[in-house]
Amino acid sequence: MGTARAAGSAADVGAAGAQPAADTVTAQEAVQQIEYDAATARELAMVEALIPAGLDMGNWSIEKVQAPRLGAIAVVMRTPKGDAFQVDMLRRDASAAGLADTKHFSLFIANSGNGSKSTDEWQARGVKVLAHHISRTERSGAPLPELMTFAQRERQHPFGNYGILG
């Protein structure tokens, strides 16, 4: 199998012309990295299609949309008063309905309440507005990202740090 040397200066080469192992990449590793980068770019394009930058959310705003991580897409939104909150978008599952559901996804407010905390009314309304926009994109036939259901994420990442707010 072939190898390639990462870019560097002549000073990086040892006295006998050997190169440090950390700078060596096999052809298989290079192909795997290219495939990973392409898959990541496809996921980001699907997320951007679902929740485009500058999406008009009326009185609410979207501050940040994260690439799929730990089986979900995290979205930081702001209420009309400017309070930040996190929405987790997961694949829809009848056993755990979100605050708002679309044909393919369930949206949950990430407040670490495990269902025990009451939901802020303005946050809930914002989640429903976001779900409406996502539903419209789903109907367009755009490709959709592969996400986990709530139960799958809980099983696969029981101690996952899902929060992205400071």
pLDDT digits (tens, 9 = 90+) for 53-96: 888 899 999 999 998 999 999 999 999 999 999 999 999 998 88
Q: Kindly state the tokens that stand for 86.
A: 């996190």
Q: What is the pLDDT of residue 148?
A: 95
Distance of alpha carbon 39 from alpha carbon 81, whole angstroms: 37
pLDDT of residue 50 exceeding 80: yes
pTM of the model: 0.75
SS3 content of the chain, % helix, strand, coil (to 5): 35, 20, 45
Give the contacts of 69 (CB within 8 A, at least 6 positions apart). none
Q: What is the pLDDT of residue 112?
A: 67
Distance of alpha carbon 146 from alpha carbon 82, whole angstroms: 31
Is 87 within 8 Å of 110 (Cβ atoms)? Answer: yes
Average pLDDT, the chain: 85
Residue range 84-136, pLDDT digits in tens: 999 999 999 988 889 999 999 999 998 766 666 788 999 999 999 999 999 99
pLDDT of residue 13 exceeding 50: no
Q: Between 6 and 83, whose confidence is greater?
A: 83
Give the contacts of 124 (CB within 8 A, at least 6 positions apart). 99, 109
In percent, the amount of the chain with pLDDT more than 90 equals 54
Report strand pairing: 105-109 vs 73-78.
unpaired
Burial class (CB in 10 A: 0-12, 13-18, 19+), 119: middle
pLDDT of residue 42 exceeding 60: yes
Could you give the domains of the chain? 49-156 (3.30.310)
| Average pLDDT of span 16-45 | 81
